[in-house]
Amino acid sequence: MWTHDFGGVMQAEVVLLGQLRHPHLVKLIVYCCEDEHRLLVYEFMARGSLEKHLYKRYTTSLSWSTRLKIAIEAAKGLAFLHDAAKTIIYRDFKTSNILLDSDYQAKLSDFGLAKDGPDGDETHVSTRVMGTQGYAAPEYIMTGHLTTKSDVYSFGVVLLELLTRRKVVDKNRPTREQSLVEWARPYFLHDSPRRLDRAIDRNLDGQYSALAAQKAAAMAYRCLSISPKSRPQMSAVVEALEPLLAMDDGVVEPFVYTAPPENK
């Protein structure tokens, strides 16, 4: 990235990535300064953004295990930021900021909006509302009060996207279906696996664990709770999602017909 501008957004990213290293944060390789120009060089993420893989045409549909793996790795990145010696609130967690390397390992990128967490006995950081429509927590939008639970809400939205492959806001759909969170709520809060199945991305073609999908959906809506206090910590999200990778109940294996040998 070569730019004339070195305002607060880019400065925040250089400072943060210069201090932190984690397998699920994109690496800042080089920072160069020449007169008014600044050059930032990041590690190459061969497969681009999660957003591209979910919504762009002519891209191969992500498998169930890959989607879960991406969710877990992104959650680990957030948990690392939240549990750092000085808490960091990411503030812009979304599919376009989750990058994938050649092995589909997920890493968080674009830390320009990241903020230090509250100090001492403070419960939140008050700041101007920024971010992307559909991902921001409702209390942050209404009050400007930012906490780690704001990131947890955004994670819940992305988890819904991974499960459904529907955009967080889609103006091309009927009014009642434009908001992913509101559209998915009746499906994901229902006990019936068959009802949940109607919301799961059809491109998965049944190649997923019904029990794992139910548990992932339940976690998504814990993250999306209206009350920030009811949302889990990201470390708890990681612990809840990791066992789902081993679940293979109900996975429908593709049917392959092998013709019997001809009698000679």
Residues annotated as catalytic are: 92
Centre a 10 Å sphere on the Cβ of residue 84 and count the other Cβ atoms it contains. 15
Determine the Cα–Cα distance for residues 264 and 248; give it in Å rounded to an integer: 41
Q: Are 69 and 106 in contact (CB under 8 A)?
A: yes
Q: Looking at beta carbons, which pairs linking 143-146 to residues 24 or more positions away fall under 8 Å? A: 146/89, 146/91, 146/115
Tokens of 213: 């999908």
CB-count burial class (<10 Å; 0-12, 13-18, 19+) for 35: exposed
Determine the Cα–Cα distance for residues 82 and 25; give it in Å rounded to an integer: 13
Query: Residues near 263 by Cβ (< 8 Å), separated by ≥ 6?
Result: none
Determine the Cα–Cα distance for residues 235 and 81; give it in Å rounded to an integer: 10
